Structure 1
Amino acid sequence: MPPRRPLANLWQESAAETFRAPALVEDAEADLLIIGGGYSGCAAALAAAQAGAKVALLEARTIGHGGSGRNVGLVNAGLWMPPEEINAALGIAAGEALTATLAQAPDRVFNLIETHGISCEATRAGTLHCAHGPAGLKDLESRHAQLSARGAPVRLLDAAETARRTGSPRFPGALFDPRAGTIQPLAYVRGLARAATAAGAHIYEHSPAVRLTRSAGAWQADTAGGTLRAPRLLLATNAYHAATGGQPAPAHVPVHYFQLATAPLGDRGAAILQGGEGAWDTALVMSSFRRDAAGRLIIGGIGSLEHGAGIAHRDWAARKLAQLFPALAGTPLHHAWHGRIAMTGDHVPRILSLGEGALALFGYSGRGIGPGTVFGEAAAQALVSGDASALPLAPVEHHSEPAAGLRAAWYEAGATLTHLLGARF
């Protein structure tokens, strides 16, 4: 059973990249003001600074404090749902364009890592989408057909090959995507921030924007220590938007995802994901598992560890570990943490127009690394150049998520019930 201990985020302890920035303590001006120091905000700051813009980024806490530093670390191609569902949500032309753009997202992430020497345990060995049962296998067959028709080099694996790759006999098959990989997610976003600073961007930590307004042709963010003004604005707070006077939070459904990690397993873990892949399953209440560079096994699932029922999630993780890998039954789980995901009703991200020269990016629905990086870079290009044609999605003027609080509670209740009953056999 996992130890009952305060949350300890493994990524904060193991990140090889460090980053520190001062708080804003003066009034300043920039060409582009970015609010939010996650993947989108830092990728945008880097791209805009490299394009010659004067960039200022405000982060309320520290770089990667939100979902970017709590991520599973799977660098996947595309979105969570298959192409035909994306087309149904956006229309064929827009859907196919988005699918094609995000098919290249892992290339962009790993290119940035190489170019800027980001030390983030980058491993491009693909990912395994594992069937949790017969229905899941049918889903993977459909995904394989849709992706293959669009030129993706994915492979559908049988039970034997899946067992060999995962180290577990529990899955009847898996979809292998060689375009994908894994990273240490907090180290990656810190590396982006480091590179952005080297390119000339000004980053301020511990500087929450308490008010955001527009006047005299510029956007102004007020903080406790000073103000920043710029003609162009990118709001990249996603699921961690803090209360800001003058600007409501982009509408989304908050969903939590937790992870627990073993100590380094050494030879005991040699047969688990021996090729270095990351994995997740097709279950409605999905779960994931991967290894890090030190050989720890990290297992995760939907749910929050903050409330009393978080014990159910921790206990489920211990049972799931034993179910997937019987030889590891009883292995202590030494780290436990969770993050918040910004979900949209159709699981498609949004680019929201906030007014003249201002965009908000949000709603990655559990696919923050690749899409977050690509959307951030594209938004920076569009805002700096004034040309929105390169955006991966057309901006919308409004976005709503009816009954977001009730839906969030439903997700958490469903995950808790599933974990109370699951992985017992």
Structure 2
Amino acid sequence: MPAPFSDPVWRKPQAASRFQSLLASGGRADVVIVGGGIMGLSTALHAARSGMSVQVLEAGEIGQGASGLNGGQVIPGLKYDPEWLLEHFGPERGEALVNFAASTANAVFDLIRDEKLAVPFVRNGWIQAAHTEAALKAAANRDRQWRARGADVKLLSEAEIAAMTGARGYLGGWLDRRAGVIDPLAYTSELARVAAAAGVGIAERQRVARLVNAAGVWRVSTESGAELQARAVVLATNAYTDGLIPGLAQTIVPLHSFQIATAPLPPKLAATILPEGQAVSDSRRILVYYRKSADGRLVLGGRGRMALPTGPSDWAHLERALRRLYPGLSSVAIEKRWFGRVAMTPDHLPHIHEPEQGLVAVVGCQGRGVGLMTALGERIATYLSGGDARQLPFPLSPIRPIPFHAFRQVGVAATIAWYRLLDALER
């Protein structure tokens, strides 16, 4: 449910539908998808296009979770660069994974184009901004690896990054022109619209309470009392994962990503801040990320408190970051504050699980969920239609709960506080 003091800048398209399409109790679909975010809707759309009957069950409203509340940065790649992936996954799997990671932004922008989605977007790239010499060296290493593969990337000098961002304090950075920005709530809403048009049943406010496998048929029970049958079930709840699959929620650490948006920038200021509309993520331990919205606001986000916010002061650390980067914005009001929940895995990679035949779960966006989950949805749909597991970009892995998971978030909160102090000392 929406939390108090959470007022996002993103808005659903005026023509956005309410979805109440639910199979009659006892009805049967080829696939039931639990979760109506980007991952669930992308899977649903591609599964329906391949001829499967699909029912999506969303516990809240479409776009209410992180899929509609994120920063809208569409970034290809993963946390790890090609050489690391090849070393850890081997030449065959690693090469396939590198190619998949390179394609994730294309998956989003191709879908917007091909389906004529009413989604505001700019595709002029993503800047990874370096504030230390060590970060600049890492950017050069990343640039070397992706440039060798023909990616449209560029290492930025101190003067170039200052001109492209208008921000203070960077020594240089890295530009990946394959990336861009979108309105994430419009994108999620439009994904639901085209999926429904393709024949997908979508039901909002239908929380799934139980999954039971009976002789190869999955019985999906909702809190409202409906029971559906399916050949396969996809759990696409990511950071909102609960106890439906034993142990799965204990494989991730959910974090809150807080965001703020200024009032629309005055024209003179707007001309000097991200004039070409790129997205930016910095190199700090507790990074901040920012971009302009379609209506000319500066939107900035970063990690927030682990508990739910209680008032505007919970966003104060982001306001300080904004003033540090852009002192000229000190007189511009902060008009919007909101947050979403994201999922972290211990190895910083997405995980695909199939604990029982016909039950597939995907967790761990690692901050790149818009492109990653759009592209993964298509691969999962192919797998459900009879594809080989070797065609999945990530290998199927067993569910391994994090040891002492109940104490993990306490440790993460302490680590965030410590890293934030170290970042402050480096300014």
What is the TM-score when the length of structure 2 is the normalising length? Answer: 0.92
Instruction: Give 1:329's aligned amino acid.
Output: S
Counting only pairs closer than 5 Å after superposition, residues 8-87 of structure 1 correspond to structure 2 as: 8-13=6-11, 15=13, 18-22=16-20, 24=22, 26-27=24-25, 28-87=27-86
Instruction: Give 1:357's aligned amino acid.
Output: G
Q: Secondary structure of the equivalent of 1:31?
A: strand
- Identity score, percent: 38
Q: CA deviation at 1:369?
A: 0.9
* Structure 1 contact 235–361 (Cα < 8 Å) conserved: yes
Q: Does 1:173 align with 2:161?
A: no
Structure 1: distance between partners of 2:32 and 2:341: 24
Q: Does 1:400 align with 2:398?
A: no
Structure 2: distance between partners of 1:134 and 1:313: 31
Structure 2: distance between partners of 1:152 and 1:131: 20
TM-aligned CA distance change 1:153 to 1:314, over 3 Å: same
* Structure 1 contact 254–341 (Cα < 8 Å) conserved: yes
Greater mean deviation of Cα atoms: 404-413 or 241-250: 241-250
Q: CA deviation at 1:80?
A: 2.2
Q: CA deviation at 1:116?
A: 1.7
Structure 1: distance between partners of 2:182 and 2:232: 31
**Residues 264-290 of structure 1, C-alpha deviations (whole Å, 9 max, x = no match):** 113122211110100011111111111
Structure 2: distance between partners of 1:229 and 1:124: 41
Structure 2: distance between partners of 1:82 and 1:334: 37
Q: Secondary structure of the equivalent of 1:231?
A: strand
Q: CA deviation at 1:329?
A: 1.2
* Structure 2 contact 4–310 (Cα < 8 Å) conserved: no
Corresponding residue number in structure 1 for 2:233: 233
Corresponding residue number in structure 2 for 1:391: 392
Q: CA deviation at 1:363?
A: 1.1
Corresponding residue number in structure 1 for 2:337: 336
TM-aligned CA distance change 1:199 to 1:14, over 3 Å: closer
Q: CA deviation at 1:247?
A: 7.8
TM-aligned CA distance change 1:250 to 1:220, over 3 Å: farther
* Structure 1 contact 352–399 (Cα < 8 Å) conserved: no
Corresponding residue number in structure 1 for 2:257: 257
Q: Secondary structure of the equivalent of 1:60?
A: coil
Counting only pairs closer than 5 Å after superposition, residues 208-223 of structure 1 correspond to structure 2 as: 208-223=207-222
Instruction: Give 1:147's aligned amino acid.
Output: W
TM-aligned CA distance change 1:90 to 1:19, over 3 Å: farther
- Counting matched residue pairs gives 421
Q: CA deviation at 1:210?
A: 0.4
TM-aligned CA distance change 1:310 to 1:132, over 3 Å: farther
Corresponding residue number in structure 1 for 2:324: 323
Corresponding residue number in structure 2 for 1:182: 181
* Structure 1 contact 16–120 (Cα < 8 Å) conserved: no
Corresponding residue number in structure 2 for 1:377: 378
Structure 2: distance between partners of 1:330 and 1:317: 15
Structure 2: distance between partners of 1:320 and 1:167: 14
Instruction: Give 1:211's aligned amino acid.
Output: R
Corresponding residue number in structure 1 for 2:351: 350
TM-aligned CA distance change 1:405 to 1:118, over 3 Å: farther
Structure 2: distance between partners of 1:67 and 1:366: 10
The alignment's C-alpha RMSD in Å is 2.4
Q: CA deviation at 1:398?
A: 2.9
Structure 2: distance between partners of 1:101 and 1:109: 13
Corresponding residue number in structure 2 for 1:133: 132
Greater mean deviation of Cα atoms: 56-65 or 6-15: 6-15
Q: Secondary structure of the equivalent of 1:334?
A: strand
Runs of 4+ in 1 over 4 A off after TM superposition: 14-17, 245-248, 305-313, 417-425
Structure 2: distance between partners of 1:406 and 1:153: 42
Q: Secondary structure of the equivalent of 2:234?
A: strand
* Structure 1 contact 303–310 (Cα < 8 Å) conserved: no
Q: Secondary structure of the equivalent of 1:169?
A: coil
Q: CA deviation at 1:311?
A: 6.4
* Structure 1 contact 262–335 (Cα < 8 Å) conserved: yes
Instruction: Give 1:63's aligned amino acid.
Output: I
Q: CA deviation at 1:79?
A: 0.9
Structure 1: distance between partners of 2:245 and 2:133: 50
* Structure 2 contact 33–54 (Cα < 8 Å) conserved: yes
Greater mean deviation of Cα atoms: 306-315 or 198-207: 306-315
**Residues 140-184 of structure 1, C-alpha deviations (whole Å, 9 max, x = no match):** 111111222222221000000000000113211110001000001
Q: Secondary structure of the equivalent of 2:249?
A: coil
| Ranges in structure 2 where 5+ consecutive residues have no aligned partner | none
* Structure 1 contact 40–375 (Cα < 8 Å) conserved: yes
